[in-house]
Amino acid sequence: MNIQIIGESEFKKIEAARRALAHAHARKFAVLDLGNTLGLYGLSWCSELVEPIVELSLDKRAVWVGVDQQIAAICLSQGQIRLSLALNSNLVQILVGAKLTAVLTEDEVLLFNPDFSIRLIKGLPDLAEEIVMTNESGLEIWLMSGESLFLDMQTGAFLSKVA
């Protein structure tokens, strides 16, 4: 999996069904190369300073890609774009686990099940910096304020705050 920057005219030649991330007012364009079998997928986004994040699922059955306020998941067995979602704020991190994928934005965390359905969307009290999987059932979310929150992945509740 490699990302190559392309021009807008090249991006427009990619069929719409293969545009994993497509922003209406994009300034940057790229292709995500998934090899000879699956081929190229188009990406477009606004920010000229931010590069896409690409994460392979642990079972190697999907690739997650996101940039700016967009996230997508591509099934590697069939080449289908299984999820393409606009986010409410800028993407910070994609964390792939065995039983879920966590997407951290500046002001919320989204949890996705292995079938790409949304398990949880939870707002954060401050700007987010990083997310770490602590165990089978929890995530620790570090905020810009230096505070951290523990999120129970089953209930969606914040269980404790650690300074």
Q: Is the residue at 39 inside a domain?
A: yes
Whether the predicted pLDDT of 162 surpasses 60 = no
Q: Is the residue at 125 inside a domain?
A: no
Burial readout 50-85 (b: 16 or more C-beta within 10 A, e: otherwise)? eebebbebeeeebbbbbbbbbbbbbbbeeeebebeb
Give the alpha-carbon dihedral of 31, 34, 38, 43, to 10 degrees. -30
Q: Is the residue at 71 inside a domain?
A: yes
The enclosing H or E element of 9 equals: helix 8-13
C-alpha closest to that of 45 among 76, 72, 23, 78: 23
pLDDT tens digit string along 94-104?
999 988 999 99
- Are 61 and 76 contacting, i.e. CB atoms less than 8 angstroms apart? yes
Overall number of domains in the chain: 1
Q: Is the residue at 153 inside a domain?
A: no
Whether the predicted pLDDT of 148 surpasses 80 = yes
More confident residue, 112 or 156: 112
Q: Tokens at residue 61, please?
A: 């059955």
Q: Is the residue at 100 inside a domain?
A: no
Average pLDDT, the chain: 92
Q: Is the residue at 117 inside a domain?
A: no
- Helix, strand, coil shares, percent, the chain, to 5: 10, 55, 40
Interatomic CA distance for residues 28 and 43, integer angstroms:
8
pLDDT of residue 163: 44
Backbone phi, psi, residue 19, to 5°: -95, 95
pLDDT of residue 160: 60
Q: Is the residue at 51 inside a domain?
A: yes
More confident residue, 84 or 154: 84
pLDDT cut 70: percent of the chain above it: 98
The enclosing H or E element of 71 equals: strand 70-75
More confident residue, 109 or 155: 109
Whether the predicted pLDDT of 106 surpasses 90 = yes
* Segments forming the whole domain that contains residue 81: 1-86
Whether the predicted pLDDT of 80 surpasses 70 = yes
Q: Tokens at residue 142, please?
A: 């570090």
Q: Is the residue at 121 inside a domain?
A: no
The enclosing H or E element of 37 equals: helix 35-38
